[in-house]
């Protein structure tokens, strides 16, 4: 059952303020399906009673659970393939500009359950194998603590590993753990997973050579996209590259990037 207009308006503002999510009326049905389990776990028999409680609640655990339930965590290893081929093409330029420092720094912003960060790590293990002295570091961040716990565990089921990994990659980078596959330590230790909301101050995050911020801007309105892209620009090194998702671009946004020739979805700082 769809939530009432007044409750929909409440959720729209609540989610926008806390995560930037732009909730459109056709997504009304998601409120019922995703929030009812939280409502029942707290003893509410219907969503409107839970919503009345939430309107005045200061309970951060419940608030965070609602935000997490409403965000979409869809991801897969080597999602869309092409960006990971492009990654290998931009690396020589990054190396050339590193000036003494031989650590390439990555940020998987909105990393979901970690497949994007591990895909970068697998690419880099192979890429740097013949480049002694070079290292890489990856930071994976997300707004959902539950999904970050999964990313940190580095454990995936058969369905998840089959989405994007070849048997050779599974054998090389994972060990079998009952019905699941666990990322080997050599890969796991290259990635730090942390909470970060892309709408908030990112001063604690550091500076990066490559930022992947893929398939999250699609959930935001134009102003929020602009805010997030400007925020991220302050974290990108002067010769760094930003990778957006397949359906995302900077078109019509007043943000300080220029597209990289022949590489749609990949940007550098302008000027």
Ligand X SMILES: C[S@@+](CC[C@H](N)C(=O)[O-])C[C@H]1O[C@@H](n2cnc3c(N)ncnc32)[C@H](O)[C@@H]1O
Q: Binder to ligand X among 73, 155, 162, 249 (CB under 6 A)?
A: 73
Quick check: 28 binds ligand X (CB under 6 A)? no
Tokens of residue 160, six digits: 């998840």
Among 30, 38, 69, 199, binds ligand X (CB under 6 A): 199
- The residues pairing with 139 across neighbouring beta strands, listed in sequence order, are 107, 192
| Smallest gap from residue 242 Cβ to ligand X (A) | 13
Contacts 24+ apart (CB under 8 A), 222-228: 222/252, 222/253, 224/16, 224/20, 224/22, 224/199, 225/253, 226/253, 226/254, 226/255, 227/20, 227/199, 228/20, 228/198, 228/199
Nearer of residues 245 and 265 to ligand X, judged by Cβ: 245
Q: From the CB of 230, what's the least distance to ligand X, in Å?
A: 14
Contact call for residue 143 and ligand X (CB under 6 A): yes
Closest by Cα among 217, 220, 207 to 269: 207
The burial class, CB within 10 Å (0-12 / 13-18 / 19+), for 156 is buried
Which is nearer to ligand X, 94 or 199 (by Cβ)?
199
State the alpha helices, DSSP H only, in the chain: 5-19, 28-41, 47-56, 60-70, 82-96, 115-128, 145-153, 158-162, 167-173, 185-188, 222-233
Q: Of residues 112, 119, 231, 268, which one binds ligand X by CB under 6 A?
A: 112
Q: How far is the CB of 42 from ligand X (least distance, A)?
A: 22
Kindly state the smallest distance separating residue 213's Cβ from ligand X, in Å: 7
How far apart CA 259 and CA 70 sit, in angstroms, is 32
Separation CA 202–CA 198 (nearest Å): 7
**Burial category of 151 from C-beta neighbours within 10 Å (exposed 0-12, middle 13-18, buried 19 and up):** buried
Q: Which of residues 145-164 bind ligand X (CB under 6 A)?
A: 147
CB of 220 to ligand X, least distance (A): 8
Q: Is 19 near ligand X (CB under 6 A)? A: yes
Q: Tell the smallest beta-carbon distance from residue 215 to ligand X (Å).
A: 4
Nearer to ligand X, 74 or 101 (CB): 74
**44 or 191: CB nearest ligand X:** 191
Shortest distance, position 117 Cβ to ligand X, whole Å: 9
Smaller CB separation from ligand X, 44 or 250: 250
Does residue number 42 form part of the binding site for ligand X (CB under 6 A)?
Answer: no
Q: Please tell me whether residue 114 adopts helix, strand or coil conformation.
A: coil
Closest separation between CB of residue 211 and ligand X, Å? Answer: 11
* Residue 20 interacts with ligand X (CB under 6 A): yes or no: yes
Among 138, 139, 191, 198, contact with ligand X (rule: CB under 6 A): 198
Report the alpha-carbon distance of residue 13 to residue 152 in Å, rounded.
31
**Residues contributing to the site for ligand X (CB under 6 A):** 19-20, 71-75, 79, 110-112, 116, 142-144, 147, 197-199, 214-216, 245
């Amino acid at each position: 059952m769809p939530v009432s207009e007044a409750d929909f308006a409440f959720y729209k503002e609540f989610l926008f303020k806390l995560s930037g999510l732009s909730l459109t009326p056709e997504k009304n049905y998601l409120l019922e399906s995703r929030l009812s389990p939280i409502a029942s776990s707290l003893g509410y028999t219907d969503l409107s009673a839970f919503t009345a409680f939430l309107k005045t609640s200061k309970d951060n655990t419940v608030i965070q659970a609602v935000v997490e339930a409403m965000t979409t965590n869809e991801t897969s290893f080597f999602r869309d393939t092409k960006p990971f081929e492009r990654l290998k093409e931009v690396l020589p330029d990054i190396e050339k500009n590193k000036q003494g420092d031989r650590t390439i720094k990555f940020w998987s912003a909105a990393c979901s359950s970690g497949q994007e960060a591990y895909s970068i790590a697998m690419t880099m293990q192979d890429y740097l194998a013949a480049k002694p002295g070079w290292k890489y570091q990856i930071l994976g961040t997300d707004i959902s603590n539950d999904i970050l716990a999964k990313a940190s565990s580095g454990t995936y089921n058969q369905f998840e590993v089959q989405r994007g990994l070849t048997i050779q990659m599974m054998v090389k980078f994972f060990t079998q753990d009952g019905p699941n596959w666990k990322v080997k330590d050599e890969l796991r230790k290259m990635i730090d997973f942390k909470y970060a909301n892309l709408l908030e101050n990112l001063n604690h995050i550091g500076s990066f050579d490559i930022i992947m911020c893929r398939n999250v801007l699609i959930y935001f309105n134009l102003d929020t996209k602009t805010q997030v892209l400007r925020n991220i620009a302050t974290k990108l090194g002067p010769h760094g590259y930003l990778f957006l998702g397949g359906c995302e671009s900077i078109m019509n946004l007043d943000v300080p990037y220029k597209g990289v020739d022949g590489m749609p979805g990949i940007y550098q700082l302008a000027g």
